[in-house]
């Protein structure tokens, strides 16, 4: 219909104006690092059982390269977790999967990164679940998530670090 064409034309015009309206915006990167050195940090968070319809948790993560956000995501978790620690571990696992692509991209550009990469998480319980070799009956549903994080830690690619909720920039993605 004619009104649909007009609506699409207006949307296209808005998109074309976007670069002009945001020319004062930029990403911020840490200038204190050496030119060829990448510092990659990851922030992951979950809000346990926050979906009122399903009881599932929301996951959020942000990947920062030299202090600037390059990837972020907010998503309802696909599995049901039974504790906030499990939900946080699932969030850390999702961040690890995304991080794989970021690392591969920088490897293809022959850019090395600091190792191990720091993954910041609010939950000490999630850190213990990721480090632990055994699983309780309740945590079997999230076993693959734990293995994903644990394998990255064992290969010294990643270090899981506790961070206060007020300092976790991915917290805003779980609201």
Q: Tens of pLDDT along 8-34?
A: 888 777 767 656 655 555 555 555 655
Q: Residues near 82 by Cβ (< 8 Å), separated by ≥ 6?
A: 138, 139, 141
Give just the sign of the alpha carbon dihedral 74, 79, 83, 88. negative
Q: What is the C-alpha to C-alpha distance for residues 53 and 96, in angstroms, rounded to an integer?
A: 27
Lowest mean pLDDT among 17-21, 139-143, 170-174: 139-143
Q: Is the pLDDT of residue 67 over 70?
A: yes
pLDDT in the model for residue 152:
83
- pLDDT at 13 (0 to 100): 78
pLDDT tens sequence across 70-119? 999 999 998 888 888 889 989 999 999 999 889 888 888 888 887 789 99
pLDDT band at 149 (very low <50, low <70, confident <90, very high): confident
pTM reported for the whole predicted model? 0.74
User: Please, which residues have CB within 8 angstroms of residue 19's CB and are 6 or more apart in sequence?
Assistant: none
Question: What's the confidence (pLDDT) of residue 35?
Answer: 60
Give the model's pLDDT for residue 129.
Answer: 80
**pLDDT tier at 144 (50, 70, 90 boundaries)?**
low
d(C-alpha 23, C-alpha 128), whole Å: 45
Residue 157, C-beta contacts closer than 8 angstroms, at least 6 positions apart: 103, 115, 116, 117
3-state SS, residue 140: helix
* Per-residue confidence band for 163, with pLDDT thresholds at 50, 70 and 90: very high
């Amino acid at each position: 219909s004619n009104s649909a064409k007009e609506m699409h034309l207006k949307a296209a015009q808005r998109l074309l104006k976007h670069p002009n309206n945001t020319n004062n915006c930029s990403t911020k990167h840490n200038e204190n690092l050496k030119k060829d050195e990448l510092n990659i940090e990851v922030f992951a968070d979950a809000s346990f059982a926050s979906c009122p319809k399903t009881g599932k948790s929301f996951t959020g993560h942000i990947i920062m390269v030299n202090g600037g956000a390059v990837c972020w995501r907010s998503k309802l978790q696909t599995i049901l977790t039974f504790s906030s620690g499990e939900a946080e571990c699932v969030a850390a696992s999702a961040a690890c999967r995304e991080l794989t692509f970021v690392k591969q991209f920088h490897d293809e550009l022959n850019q090395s990164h600091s190792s191990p990469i720091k993954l910041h998480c609010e939950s000490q319980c999630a850190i213990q679940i990721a480090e632990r070799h055994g699983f309780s009956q309740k945590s079997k549903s999230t076993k693959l998530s734990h293995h994903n994080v644990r394998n990255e830690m064992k290969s010294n690619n990643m270090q899981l670090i506790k961070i206060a909720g007020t300092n976790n920039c991915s917290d805003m993605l779980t609201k």
